Each structure stands twice: as C-alpha cells, then as structure tokens.
Amino acid sequence: MTALHDAFQQRRPAGMGPAEWQVRCELAAAYRLFAHLGWHELIYNHLTVRVPGTENFLINPFGLMYREITAAQLVKIDLEGRKVEPSPWDVNPAGFIVHAAVHAARPDAQCVVHTHTTAGQVVSCQRDGLLPLSFNSTFYTGRIAYHDFEGITLDREECARLAADLGDRNVMILRNHGLLVCGPGIGDAFAEHYMLQRACEVQVAAQASGAPLVQPRPEVAERAAAQYERTARQGNQNTLLWDAMLRWAWDLDSGFVR
C-alpha cells in the first residue's frame, strides 16, 4: 500500500493537504470499482466520505457515470448540502439527504454507501428481508437495520427517521429501495457492501431454485456473526481487502487519480 500511497501523492494538486487527497483518491477508486462490479445506477446513487478533520464530506458530481469520476472532481459539501468550495458540478439532492442523515448522526461513519443493485432491491422488497441462509448472510445475524420506504428521499424530515432506524448498526436495508452501509473508512464500507450484496445475490438465487432451503441453527448464525465482527470489523481483514481492491483499481485504470 505504501507504494500506491506514494503514487497517489505524486499527483496531489498544489494547495491540497495529503490527507484529503488520499481519501479523494480512495473514494474515486471505490466509484471505479463499483462501476466495474456492476453496482451502479448510471448517474445515480452515491458513495461519500468525510473529509478528515472536518464535518464536510465528498460526494460524486451529479451527471457523471461512476467510471468517469476522478479524485479532483468530487464535490465537497457540508451537512446542509452547500458546496464548501467552488465546483462546476451540482449534487443530487436525493443523495445528499440520505448521506447527510448518516454523517450527521454517526461521527464514526466516515464512509456511507447507498446502492440500487438488483439483488439488493429484490431482498428489500421481501417481507422478511435478509435471511440467514448463506455464509455471507450469517455475518449480519442480529446486526441489520431496516427503514420503510417513504418515496424519493427529498424530504429533510426523513433524515431523522432514517438515522434513528440505522441506530448504531453499519448495515441497513431500505425497504422497497436498496442497500445502505457505512463504516469507519472507505475500505470498511466497501467490505460491508460486498458481503451484503453477496448475501442478497445468494438468497435470490437460492429462492429461485425452488429447492427446499436450510437455515443454520440460530446459535450457529450468531457465532458466525461474532467471528466476522472480530476478524473483519475489529480485525485487519477489511484493510487487507481494501489494499487489494486499490491495487486492482490502479491496474484497471489509474486515471481516477487526477
């Protein structure tokens, strides 16, 4: 990671601090990876990260595809959705509402991700939500929140309800809508989304197979969740995964670092 960190910093614009430039590069890489993995909704949906040492956060320019986003293009806004620095790009109000709600309520949530993946939306439409069926789904035993659909997220009053439903959890299914995850860093949020997305994909495929389904015993599912908590959220696995994903993003196209 040190070599890649140095490569990022070599392209840092004059007048920008190294910490902000690092998170800009990593967020731009995340956008490119989400595009590569098919987790985008054209110009919609958002990944945001707090600017180190501030309450402001970075969000994608409204109108760009994920595969186009670069570090310097990310728009810096405050918790009221106002641009902190000049930018030729606007911000999608719907995206701001969702992400500002989490950033404001959860200082520990440095990165917030919201997607409309097909599998995520399918599970969000199911009455019982995510089921403890697969390896990945057991990671969320007793650790997932739900928020009822209220229409397009344009109402500031929904912020408080959304934040209250999330509580202290890092993963939430927005019913009839999609997935929302957060974490103390971009890599943590990426890992949460990857595992949640995989769990949704397997659930949808298993249900479509028509075969009788087997669920692990509740105590086994809880044990798996506790193991994942120790090894990923509190261990070093998320860091190892994110370092590998950054190398992949760089190999795919290093053009996001500009």
Identify the pLDDT of residue 97.
Answer: 86
Identify the pLDDT of residue 154.
Answer: 83
Query: How does pLDDT run across 56-101, given as a tens digit for each residue?
Result: 999 999 999 999 999 999 999 999 999 999 999 999 988 888 999 9
Query: How does pLDDT run across 129-147, given as a tens digit for each residue?
Result: 999 999 999 999 999 999 9
pLDDT, the chain, mean: 96
Contact partners, residue 184, CB within 8 Å, separation at least 6: 108, 109, 110, 111
Q: Tell me the pTM.
A: 0.96
Identify the pLDDT of residue 96.
Answer: 81
CA 258 to chain centre: 22
Residue 1, pLDDT > 70, answer no
Evaluate whether residue 258 is within a structural domain. Answer: no
Evaluate whether residue 9 is within a structural domain. Answer: no
Query: How does pLDDT run across 21-64, given as a tens digit for each residue?
Result: 999 999 999 999 999 999 999 999 999 999 999 999 999 999 99
- Asked if residue 25 lies in contact with residue 70, where contact means CB atoms within 8 angstroms, the answer is no
* Amino acid residing at 5: H
- Beta-bridged to residue 114, according to DSSP, are 46, 180
Evaluate whether residue 133 is within a structural domain. Answer: yes
- Give backbone dihedrals phi and psi of 121, rounded to 5 degrees, phi first: -70, -35
Evaluate whether residue 2 is within a structural domain. Answer: no
Evaluate whether residue 6 is within a structural domain. Answer: no
Evaluate whether residue 4 is within a structural domain. Answer: no
Evaluate whether residue 30 is within a structural domain. Answer: yes
Query: How does pLDDT run across 219-247, given as a tens digit for each residue?
Result: 999 999 999 999 999 999 999 999 999 99
Residue 2, pLDDT > 80, answer no
The enclosing domain of 166 has a CATH number of 3.40.225.10
Q: How many domains does the chain divide into? A: 1
Residue 257, pLDDT > 70, answer yes
Identify the pLDDT of residue 155.
Answer: 84
Query: How does pLDDT run across 162-199, given as a tens digit for each residue?
Result: 999 999 999 999 999 999 999 999 999 999 999 999 99
Identify the pLDDT of residue 196.
Answer: 98
Domain that holds residue 149: 14-253
Contact partners, residue 91, CB within 8 Å, separation at least 6: 59, 61, 62, 75, 77, 81, 83
